[in-house]
């Protein structure tokens, strides 16, 4: 796990665990969600709760603009344990989802991708399709007089909300 994300999770986990103990009941489900660093922590908290508390599996995790958080081994274990419960949203050229670098760090597999037109896809297209979609996103931002800002504007939570609303979510 990335040292910074691990340190951040350790700082909040005791309070998180206490809140889960206080509010979670058999008739209440457990969900994790957030954006950016919070998205990384939401994914890691879901993993930790699942792996540390065998009787408590989160219903799901929704993250937006989440950076890569862990090594490929933890990502694989997470994918096996929480398959179908994670929704990692990526908005076109969002720069934050591209760090820290591969192959040292990995994303969990469950990706939901908003293309340059704001359409929700099951995942980012392959290399050629991905390059074409990225170029389209850069061109749209340049047309809006924001050259080279596509990766930053795509990371905005407002951009994610607009895409979700357009998708009817």
Rounded to an integer, what is the distance from CA 161 to the centroid of its chain?
14
CB 1 within 8 A of CB 77: no
Which residue carries 């398959």 as its tokens? 83
- State the pLDDT confidence band at 27, using cuts at 50, 70 and 90: confident
Q: Where are any strands of DSSP class E within 76-124?
A: 86-91, 111-114, 120-121
Kindly tell me if the per-residue pLDDT of 63 is higher than 90. Answer: yes
- Residue 106's beta-bridge partner residues? 70
Overall average pLDDT of the 108-126 stretch = 84
CB 108 within 8 A of CB 78: yes
pLDDT in tens, 144-160: 455 556 678 889 999 99
Tell me the whole-structure pTM to 2 decimals: 0.84
Around 66, how many Cα atoms within 13 Å sit in the side-chain half-sphere? 32
Please calculate the CA angle 8-10-11 and round it to the nearest 5 degrees.
65
Range in 12-21, 49-58, 67-76, 129-138 with the lowest mean pLDDT: 129-138
Nearest Cα neighbor of 136 from 166, 92, 95 is 92
Overall average pLDDT of the 62-82 stretch = 96
Overall average pLDDT of the 118-138 stretch = 65
pLDDT in tens, 31-46: 999 999 999 999 999 9
Task: Give domain limits for the chain.
Answer: 3-166
Backbone dihedral region for residue 125 (phi beyond 0: left; psi -120 to 50: alpha; all else: beta)? beta
The pLDDT value given to residue 135:
59
Fold designation for 3-166:
Rossmann fold (3.40.50)
């Amino acid at each position: 796990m990335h040292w910074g994300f691990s340190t951040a999770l350790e700082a909040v986990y005791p309070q998180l665990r206490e809140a889960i103990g206080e509010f979670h009941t058999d008739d209440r489900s457990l969900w994790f969600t957030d954006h950016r660093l919070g998205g990384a922590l939401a994914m890691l908290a879901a993993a930790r709760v699942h792996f540390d508390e065998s009787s408590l599996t989160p219903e799901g995790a929704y993250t937006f603009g989440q950076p890569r958080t862990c090594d490929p081994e933890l990502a694989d274990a997470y994918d096996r344990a929480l398959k179908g419960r994670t929704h990692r949203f990526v908005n076109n050229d969002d720069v934050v989802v591209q760090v820290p670098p591969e192959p040292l760090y990995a994303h969990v597999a469950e990706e939901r991708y908003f293309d340059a037109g704001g359409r929700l896809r099951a995942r980012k297209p392959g290399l050629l399709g991905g390059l074409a979609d990225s170029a389209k996103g850069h061109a749209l931002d340049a047309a809006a007089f924001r050259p080279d800002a596509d990766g930053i504007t795509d990371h905005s939570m407002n951009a994610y909300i607009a895409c979700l609303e357009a998708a009817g979510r």
